Structure 1
Amino acid sequence: CTLEPTESYSKADLDEYVTILRHVAEEARSDPERVKTAPHNSTVHRIDHAPLDDPTQWAMTWRAYRRKLERGSEHTGGKTT
C-alpha cells in the first residue's frame, strides 16, 4: 500500500515523514519486539473498544450525533460530558 499525500503537505513535511518511516523500518530490523509493542510513550496504554462495538453509541451523521447529545443531556441534567 502506497500512501498518497494531499496537496496540503509541504515537501519538508513529506521529507520528515519519510525520515520517521526509515527510522521505524531500521528499528524493526534491529529490534522487532520494540516495534511490535509500540507505542511506548502514550497517555493511554489500552483503548476501550467497547463503545465502538455498541451500535447504540454510533452516530453516522452530525445530526444524529447532536440528537444523541441532546438525549444524553436530558438524563444528566444538562451535562453532555
Structure 2
Amino acid sequence: MKKAVDFSTYKHLQKMSFNDVNRWVTSIYKSGYADGHSEFGDNPLVLDEDSLHDLLVSVPGIGNTLADKIVQRFIDETGIHD
C-alpha cells in the first residue's frame, strides 16, 4: 500500500508548528484544486441518478436491479438527492 506521506515528511511534520502544518495542508489543498480546475475547468463532472445508473449498467455483470440498489445506497449514504 502506498503511503500518503513518506517517513521523512512525517518526521518533518512532527517538528513543525501548528501554523506551519496548517500552511502546508492549505498549500496541498490549493494545489489539488488548481490541478482539478486546470483539467476540468468550469465544467466539473456532474453525476445525477440517471447517469450513475447508466454507467453502472454498462459494467458487465451489473443489471438494472443491482444498479438501482447501488444508486439508492449512494443516495442514502451521501444524502445527495436530485
Q: When the two structures are superposed, what TM-score results if normalisation uses the length of structure 1?
A: 0.34
Relative contact order: is structure 1 or structure 2 higher (C-alpha 8 Å, sep ≥ 6)?
Answer: 2
Q: When the two structures are superposed, what TM-score results if normalisation uses the length of structure 2?
A: 0.34
